[in-house]
Amino acid sequence: KAHKNMLQSACNVLRAVHPLLESLSGIERIDRITFTGHSLGGGVAAYLTMLFLELLQDPQDSKDSKDSKSKPEVRCFSFGAPGICSAAVSKSLRDRIASYCHAQDVVPRLSTGHLLELHGRAVLAANVAGDIVKRLANGGF
């Protein structure tokens, strides 16, 4: 399951740069392609990396094929990006995607579950505060 907007952004970027990459590949050999981004852009960069790796993958190639040497090395460096994939996918891409975050940055630690829990707590706090205000308005505690 993917973050719809980040994945859509990655697809849009890939569509935009594809003609340029195609034209360059005819002129000179491309050894390395690096994607990078910060925050949501880091998530987009990671999706770009996954999409690009998928485009480069030839079902006829084996893992140790001689032709794999002619393919560019694809890497990603993301900074402060939210989590975008499962632990299993993350593990499989460990040699391709490096993600860095500051210890105090909450964005990389947020998830839908965390946001829903935070929303529930905020609603509860607002209800309690509302009850207190009503009691005070009615003369007391």
Residues 6+ apart with CB under 8 A from 52: 14, 33, 35, 74
Assign 59 a pLDDT band (cuts: 50, 70, 90): low
141 has a pLDDT exceeding 70: no
The token duo for 127 is 């209800």
Count the residues in the chain: 141
- Nearest Cα residue to 3 out of 51, 40, 34, 53: 40
Contact 42, 79 (CB under 8 A): yes
Pairwise CA distance, residues 107 & 109, whole Å = 5
Segment 118-135, tens digit of pLDDT: 889 988 998 888 888 777
Assign 65 a pLDDT band (cuts: 50, 70, 90): low
Residues 6+ apart with CB under 8 A from 7: 47
pLDDT at residue number 117:
87
The token duo for 130 is 């509302």
Mean pLDDT of the chain: 84
Pairwise CA distance, residues 102 & 81, whole Å = 10
Contact 46, 81 (CB under 8 A): yes
pLDDT at residue number 109:
74
38 has a pLDDT exceeding 90: yes
For the chain, counts of helices (H) and of strands (E): 4, 3
Q: Percent of the chain at pLDDT above 90?
A: 33
Segment 72-111, tens digit of pLDDT: 899 999 999 988 888 899 899 999 999 999 888 887 777 7
Q: Read off the pTM.
A: 0.70
62 has a pLDDT exceeding 60: no
